[in-house]
Amino acid sequence: MSRKFEDKQLVIASHNQGKVSEFRELFKSFPVELTSVSELNHVEPDETGDTFQANAELKALAAATRSGIPALADDSGLCVEALNGQPGIYSARWAGPQKDFDFAMEKVRLGLVEEGTLNTRAYFIAGLALAWPDGHVEYFEGRVDGDLVWPPRGLKGFGYDPMFIPDGHEITFGEMEPDAKHAMSHRAHAFKQLIDACFKG
């Protein structure tokens, strides 16, 4: 049985403004006040885990412990089949210290060229960890499958969105309106599990 969220405040344990904006959109119909770790001047811990779950839990626990408020962390990434699941948990690190995702997307493209493959299959994973200051954690994971395209298309979204077309669609996440993406993204799938388990009933 999952623990129910009964607080009024929630810290979003991310300095990524794209993620923070997406969470504000997802939570807009819930009576909870969101604060990001950027607003609290928290430094994010090093992501030393080797899974999405480990890194999400590490970040959520650090924020909850420091703030004394429940915290929600996301660890997500693009997994490319022909690259043995890379960049995966290293998706943000592929963008370098400047968080240059044009560079990261080019790195993916070059990786596929080096493999000499026509396999463009990929998927996004989002792991969500909700942590309380007492150390309790609930974890949820979502996935969306699709294909990669080049050159990247669209200025909406963030990260690798402009090169990813989800199954059943003809436009990239970077071309989708936010409401359309939020209805079916990897983060949306994990978020629905979180809401059903911790915010309903």
Q: At what angle do helices 186-194 and 17-26 cross, to 10 degrees?
A: 50
Compute the half-sphere exposure of residue 98: CA atoms within 13 Å on the CB side of its CA: 5
What distance in Å separates the CA atoms of residue 104 and residue 76, rounded to the nearest whole number?
Answer: 15
What distance in Å separates the CA atoms of residue 106 and residue 11, rounded to the nearest whole number?
Answer: 33
Spell out the residues 6+ positions from residue 133 whose beta carbon is closer than 8 angstroms to its own.
Answer: 64, 65, 67, 68, 69, 70
145 catalytic residue (yes or no): no
Of 75, 100, 145, 161, which is the active-site residue? 75
Active site residues: 75
